[in-house]
Amino acid sequence: MRNIHIASTISLALMLAACGSGNEADNRAPASEGAAVKAAGHADEGAVTLSQQQIADAGIEVTRPTVGGVAGAIEISATVEGDPQGVQVVSAAIGGRVVSLTRNLGQPVGRGDTIAIIESREAASLRAEIEAAQARAALAQSNLRREQRLFAERVSPEQDLVAARTAATEANISLRLARQQLSATGGSGGAFNRIAVRSPIAGQVIARSATLGQTVAADAELFRVANLSKATITMSLIPADAGRIRPGARVEVTAPGRRQEARVTFVSPVLDETTRLVPVIAGIDNASGTWRVGETVNASILVPASGDRTVAVPSAAVQMIEDRPHVFVRTSAGFQAKPVTLGRTNGGVVTVTLGLTGDERIASTNSFILKAELGKGSAEHED
């Protein structure tokens, strides 16, 4: 209704302007009236007179054509996958019985958080080895201090001091090794025969294989944790299209009710052996959880410009007038319909091969309103 009202207002303004011009022509030169009207008709052919307020009310946006910008777009289906660096398998370093599980599917987890506890005889052996190594290290240090005192008193020879120092060093190495072996299993689990299984990254639990009370083997998968703040868009292109893509190229990812921009991070130099297509990967920010791993989306890869003076306009800016494409160019009084020759259309953008220089300002949206007003003006002129 708003556009109809605007169109009626514009038509009324044009009619009043035409009537006023006719009256002045009658007063000045009645004999040349026909010639004057004919000349005015040719001068105003394709013109639509609009004020700035009328343009705003009609929702007509005025922009400049793209020059040497996006040369096209490759439309293709793609799949959302998790960031390979953001998915970690949490496994048991030693075998034993699961006595505690602190996370369920979908729950968040921080880096280093304990998510399971395993009870194991091997854990008890590791703890016992640490205590034995501590005792040996303490004894070696005591012997070293005694030999240092005796050597200072010139009671013990230097070779005894060297031997004591060597023994102390070896005992300390053994103690560090025992501690590192226990640390590699996850560390203390709150009891002599228990170890803790910790998450290597912060994220969300996306898989849980363990069951409370289950006996698991060493390296068995217990959980899978994913940091989904970053995701990847995987695509497969024919070699001809892949040759036009470079890392850093923009990708518009769309799905019902969602749209976001990604960037190409990898274009494979080899073909997939099965599909004979080129794998292409784009990275996308998923901090808000917009995209789900495994879902199929639409991807539009914007092909970079070749550096020429190619002129392109939005498809919505083009209107067919008398079976020929036109673009409405902004003038001081409104708009002028300008005939153009079109090239390839890609991703809502059409190339203009003839008719525009790229320096014009054009109606990029709601140009159909201008076409309708132009049609009304032509009909009234014929009447």
Instruction: For residue 250, count CB atoms less than 10 angstroms from its CB and return exposed for 0-12, middle for 13-18, buried for 19 or more.
Output: middle
CA distance 104 to 93: 20
Q: What is the pLDDT of residue 36?
A: 37
Tell whether 275 and 320 lie within a shared domain: no
186 in a structural domain: yes
List the CATH number of the domain containing 340. Answer: 2.40.420.20
Return phi, psi of residue 36, to 5°: -65, -45
Assess whether 281 and 267 both reside in one domain.
Answer: yes
Residue 296 sits in the same domain as residue 327: no
Residue 252 lies in a domain: yes
Average pLDDT, the chain: 81
Question: pLDDT tens digit string along 228-286?
Answer: 888 999 999 988 888 888 898 889 899 988 989 999 999 999 999 998 999 999 999 98
CATH number at residue 233: 2.40.30.170
Do residues 338 and 356 make contact, with C-beta atoms less than 8 angstroms apart? yes
**160: which 2 tokens?**
């005894």
Q: What is the pLDDT of residue 191?
A: 67
Among residues 192, 211, 244, the one where a domain terminates is: 192
Give residue 347's pLDDT.
61
- Mean pLDDT calculated for residue range 309-314: 81
The token pair that represents 161 in the structure block: 């001091």
Quote the pTM value.
0.48
Instruction: Report the pLDDT averaged over residues 100-123.
Output: 87
Structure tokens, 50: 């609009």
**Number of domains, the chain:** 3
The tens digit of pLDDT for each residue in 182-215 reads 777 766 656 678 888 888 888 889 889 888 888 8
47-86 confidence digits (pLDDT tens): 999 998 899 888 898 888 877 655 567 888 999 988 877 8
DSSP string, 77-100: EEEEEE-GGGEEEEE-SS-EEEEE
The residue segments making up the domain with residue 352 are 2-70+309-382
Spacing of C-alpha 231 from chain mean position: 8
Whole-number Å distance between alpha carbons of 194 and 348: 62
Q: Does residue 113 form part of some domain?
A: no
Q: Measure the CA–CA gap between 245 and 58, rounded to whole angstroms.
A: 39
pLDDT of residue 340: 94
